[in-house]
Amino acid sequence: MALSPPASPTTGQTYTANGRTWSWTGAAWELVPATAIVSSVAGRTGTVTLTSADVSGVVPSTTTGITGATAITNIVSLTQSSYDALGSKSATTLYIISG
């Protein structure tokens, strides 16, 4: 399902879709970590590091077997002029030009 965050968000504004919430930092949409108290995950107990396989609906950025590929860890929606004004771009950020 495609995401459609607000084109002109205010700092601190949140956007929720597909059971996940993002918060606008003033420069990017950052995923708000889900918090929960659990006793086990997929049969594992103690300190557990979640993977995309542990959470339904997550689409991992898989680069296995793709030479030169980089996983996407951040998605940003911004105007063309804001994109052009960025001093440097991140290889792990997907930039969506809006407006």
- What is the total count of domains within the chain? 1
Query: How high does pLDDT run on average in the chain?
Result: 84
**Residue 96 forms beta bridges with which residues?**
77
Identify whether 65 is part of a domain: no
Burial (CB count within 10 angstroms: exposed 0-12, middle 13-18, buried 19+), residue 95 = middle
C-beta separation of 22 from 71 below 8 A: no
Whether 75 is in a domain gets the answer: yes
**58 occurs within a structural domain:** no
Answer whether residue 84 is part of any domain.
yes
Q: What is the mean pLDDT of residues 55-83?
A: 85
Residue 99 lies in a domain: yes
pTM: 0.42
Domain membership of residue 3 (yes or no) is no
Average pLDDT for 49-63: 76
**Residue 43 lies inside a defined structural domain of this protein:** no
Mean pLDDT of 67-87: 90
Q: 10-14, 32-36, 41-45, 79-83: which has the minimum mean pLDDT?
A: 32-36
pLDDT at residue 85 greater than cutoff 90: yes
Whether 88 is covered by a domain: the verdict is yes
| Domain limits for position 77 | 71-99
